[in-house]
Amino acid sequence: MTERASHGRGKKIFLVHPLGANWVPGEKDMSRLANIMPPIGLCSLAAWLDRHGHRAVIHDCYAHALGDEALLRRLREEAPDFLGISATTSSFLDGMRLAQLAKSARPGLKVIVGGVHVSALRERLLREFPVIDYGIAGEGEMTLLELLEHGDDGLEEIQGLIHRDGGAGGEVIFNGPRVPHGDLDAFPFPAYEKLAGYPASYKLPLFSYPRSPGTTAISSRGCPYTCSYCDRSVFGRSFGFHSAEYMFELTRHLRRRFGIRHINFYDDLFTLKRERIAEYCERLLRGGLKMSFNCAARAEHLDAELLRLMKRAGCWMISLGIETGDPELLRRHRPTTRLELIRERMALIRRTGIRAKGLFIMGLPGETEASIDQSLRFVLDMPMDDFNLTKFTPFPGSPLYRDLARHGHFEEQWELMNCLNFVFVPEGLTLGRLEQRYREFYRRYYERPKVLLGYVAMLWRAPDSWRRFLANLGDFLKLRKDFK
């Protein structure tokens, strides 16, 4: 592929990150107070297209909830050839609403939709939503580039593309999956600079970083494991990763250009390739950037030597996926993990001086009152500094999605499928009871004196988080009252 557009002039694409539904209906949206993450996928696509002679503009409705008129005004100013929307399951319907508005304001505009929801449901979405002209399933860079460069000539040759034979009203065709790109270092750094107000407009989760400004980055794509609840539709079981050199150069770029002090690596499996992370840490130590970082890992991929090196290089917190404290339920949904190993690694992380966070899920198929009790005991007994409990959401690309009816009641409302609403109720439980147990989890965990004292210590360890918390104290107190 040449560095410039190979067919005619470069195209302009208007990339949109929809606001969507990201909280609990009827309650104040606390998600945007606690965490606003840059749309890294769109930033990566924008950088890739710009490199090849096209022009990409990003409009982030989540970071800047300015309303429809602001989007339409900018759309008229930019006059793009294409509208590109990247949507999760919960933001998809809002994305379709915006697409319809955009087409009404700019007739003839072609709408391209990508993201995990499209990758999972593919042809179904183009049949049900005629506003979509093209869908992209899987990794998007090469498919989107070929679509912009070739237009309607040779659509059937573009792997990963979903389109209509003969245009509007034609048969919906999926050309088959595209093999993920083998060399992620061939992609440029994400174009963070295209985000309005970056980095100040974006916030990491409260109490998850020592210094600001911070940002999110991704150093790998995919996961080879087969957990029942994970969406596999974009990368399948592949695992691609940037080299340690690329990671260090990106880190240095973020520090020098934007003043970033902390990076939250949003990888599914940050430490899967141990040598890569060890080399990255060594480069950080030699480079003297004085930055910190967080990551998520599996217990199987951590050891004392690596943890000591990560701590020296600036690792501030590691999140471990635990999901449940019921060993039988864990074996059913994540068969390669043992609770004993998780407990050992969590204690090891803390002994190293790195903050440890546990990630749990409530409401998996097979969940019972007894399994919730086991999880609660496990949480209260675990040596960890923080925890997060999500409400199980059966995403369309996960193995569980196909036969949920056998395990309980599933109310498939896409706008509520954001891990903050119970849309699935396991057999033997009720929605009301799940909500009660969910609130009990948080109340029992956070009202313990040692946990509260740990957050007091954050006054000097994470002062920016405390400033943000106090600035929105009324909203957080109301949330605490709701949980009671």
Question: Which CATH number goes with the domain that contains 78?
Answer: 3.40.50.280
- Please report whether residue 140 resides in a domain: yes
133 and 16 fall within a common domain: yes
Q: Residues 202, 38: contact at Cβ < 8 Å?
A: yes
Residue where one domain finishes, among candidates 159, 174, 189: 174
Of the candidates 289, 279, 267, the one whose C-alpha atom is nearest the C-alpha of residue 211 is 289
Mean pLDDT (the chain, rounded)? 92
Tell me, what CATH number does 427's domain have? Answer: 3.20.20.70
Residues 388 and 459 placed together within one structural domain of the fold? yes
Residue-level pLDDT at 7: 45
pLDDT given for residue 6 in this prediction = 43
Q: Are residues 169 and 215 in the same domain?
A: no
479 falls in which pLDDT band (50, 70, 90)? low
Q: How confident is the model at residue 9 (pLDDT cuts 50, 70, 90)?
A: confident
392 and 322 in a common domain: yes
Task: Return d(Cα 7, Cα 472) in angstroms, integer.
Answer: 51
**92 and 27 co-located in one domain:** yes
Does residue 17 belong to any structural domain of this protein?
Answer: yes
Query: The dihedral of CA 351, 352, 353, 359: what is its sign?
Result: negative
Q: Which domain holds residue 65?
A: 12-174
Distance CA 173, CA 378 (A): 48
**Under 8 Å CB-to-CB from 425, ≥6 apart: which residues?**
363, 408, 409, 431, 434
- Do 401 and 353 share a structural domain? yes
Residue 313 has pLDDT above 60, yes or no: yes
Is residue 290 located within the same domain as residue 165? no
User: Is residue 4 scored above 60 in pLDDT?
Assistant: no
Asked whether residue 192 is assigned to any structural domain, the reply reads no
Helical segments of 23-138, H only: 31-34, 40-51, 68-78, 92-105, 116-121, 123-128
Position 439 scores a pLDDT of 95
Domain boundary among 126, 154, 174: 174
Number of domains in the chain: 2
Instruction: Kindly state the average pLDDT of the residues 455-484.
Output: 80
Q: How many CB atoms lie within 10 A of CB 477?
A: 10
- Per-residue pLDDT at 376 exceeds 70: yes
Full-prediction pTM beyond 0.85? yes
pLDDT of residue 482: 60
Residue with token string 């019921």: 326
